[in-house]
Amino acid sequence: MKYLLGSALIVASSLSFAGAPAPVVDTEAGKVQGYRTEEGIFIYKGIPYAANPFTPERRFQNPQSVQPWQGIKATLSDSPVPQPGRSSAQRLVGHAGDLTLNIWRPDNIEGKLPVMVWIPGGAWIREDATESVYDGSVFAKKGVMVVTVNYRVGVDGFMHFAQRPDNRGIADQIAALKWVQRNIANFGGDPGRVTLFGQSAGAGSVAIHLGNPETKGLYQQAILQSPPMQWISPADASRITRQFTDNLGIPADPEAVSRVPFEDLVQNVLKVGEQIKDAAQWGRLSLGGTAFLPVADGKIIVKSPMEDLAITDSNRVPVIVGSTESEFRLYLLPGDGIQKITIKDVNTVIDELGLPASALQAYTKNSISAESPGDIYAQIMSDYTFRMPALNIARLLNRNQNTWFYDFSWRSPAYNGRLGAAHFVDVPFTFGTIHTKEAENFVGVNPPQSLSDSMNNAWVAFAKYGNPGWPHYSNNDNKRMVFDTTSRIETLKDPQISALWDKFQY
């Protein structure tokens, strides 16, 4: 009794800094209590869904059940897993502890709410489910519960060891989805109406789940925003591991890697990412932009994410998939990278990708990329990395299920207009968080509220009713929603561009 009283006092003290207390909720491991915002949203941050995977006995293993606790856990804040910071001043962010998730729900609930589970992206080396741009309050105000998931990335999530399971970060996500099935009803959510959604590596993760029979029944719908269908063979993954450990002067085994401080690990992740840009040594891996990718392990990924998606019938659920107009421009900023690109660079990337010789002429005529060699290069890489994978997914899935396709074309004024409709610009509009400080770097000042309302309402309608409000995608008519200052329905533009990629193997 003394322990419970003490726990209650700790919770009450903590809540005084966060807001009014939210209801105490029972989870399978113990009680949690979050806080209530002035807008009437209950938020629970840092709920453990799997045991600390960074301990010696659990390191580089699949996720394990979280240890039960006594009393009431104050779930008021969260932190991502250890990963590189985004500036030289922040070499390491996050901490080693239990794997956690966050929940947003309205205070007044009638019946069980639909649930949206968000998998954040970050090139498989970063993730942060706590970022302000992922705040689920706007969804919650409209009667949708949001769950955001932290999972292992980089070395701990995706480094390949022959003696350890691959794709541990993906396994973490599966553990989180199973946790939602077992626990979300206690928060007022409906485990039978779960929409799995993600962006970038998060969308790539969603695609992997769609192709994995093990995840059947863990969600009923899915949204893929800018999905990269990147993967790596065990042989190439072993090369990455050897490069990584050679840099550190240690054996290429999990025991040796586990003894390296996190700060050194995450900085070496960035170093290897730079090293593999050498196309002569690494081939097409040099175009991936990241050192760590999901591995075709024969279990979670049997052949490749795209092939698994094509042959797996067990997860045929309604899907929204799309991309932004000029994804790759994000990776050419800040600075003047796009201005430095020459026609020679464009021809080189065309050759490296194995595109036909007609590609240069087709992209030169393209309305988006025709202004300069840098624009052409950016559009080719946008198509390779995100846009054509999204289109390919729509073409694969519309045969067997309800599929909707979109294109985000609003051009951000950030970086003096050079960012345009780049990668991630759509995310603050999706969440209704366009006015956060974090979003300003992507959407500039005074972004159109009407566009945010349009996107968020479409995602809410899909979560609630299974239909975002525009026509299905069909290979016969190629209809898509174009999200812009004035959103509209269009058929696929520039079919000669998509034809260049018809035989491309993802």
- Alpha-carbon span 187 to 23, nearest angstrom: 9
423: annotated active-site residue: yes
One-letter amino acid for residue 33 of the chain: Q
Cis link prior to 334 (omega < 30° from 0)? yes
Rounded to the nearest angstrom, the gap between the alpha carbon of residue 458 and the centroid of all alpha carbons in its chain is 19
Angle at which helix 262-275 crosses helix 234-248, to 10 degrees, equals 120
| C-beta pairs of 437-442 under 8 Å, 24+ apart in sequence | 437/132, 438/131, 438/132, 438/133, 439/132, 439/133, 440/414, 441/414, 442/412, 442/414
- Those residues whose C-beta lies under 8 Å from the C-beta of residue 344, and which sit 6 or more positions away, are none
Rounded to the nearest angstrom, the gap between the alpha carbon of residue 354 and the centroid of all alpha carbons in its chain is 28
- Are the C-beta atoms of 138 and 433 separated by less than 8 Å? yes
Neighbouring-strand partners of residue 118 = 148, 197
- Are the C-beta atoms of 431 and 438 separated by less than 8 Å? no
H/E stretch holding 480 reads strand 479-483
H/E stretch holding 493 reads none
Catalytic residue among 327, 382, 409, 452: 327
Looking up tokens 């979280």, which residue turns up?
66
Cα distances (Å, whole numbers) of residue 38 to 20, 46, 48, 73, 137 = 8, 20, 25, 22, 11
Angle at which helix 168-183 crosses helix 201-210, to 10 degrees, equals 70
- Alpha-carbon span 486 to 56, nearest angstrom: 54
Quick one: which of 499, 484, 505 has its CA closest to 322?
A: 484
Neighbouring-strand partners of residue 490 = 480
Burial class (CB in 10 A: 0-12, 13-18, 19+), 279: middle
- Alpha-carbon span 277 to 292, nearest angstrom: 13
Quick one: which of 221, 175, 179, 251 has its CA closest to 319?
A: 221
Catalytic residue among 304, 326, 423, 454: 423
Catalytic residue among 7, 200, 205, 369: 200
- Are the C-beta atoms of 118 and 202 separated by less than 8 Å? yes
Tell me the catalytic residues.
200, 327, 423
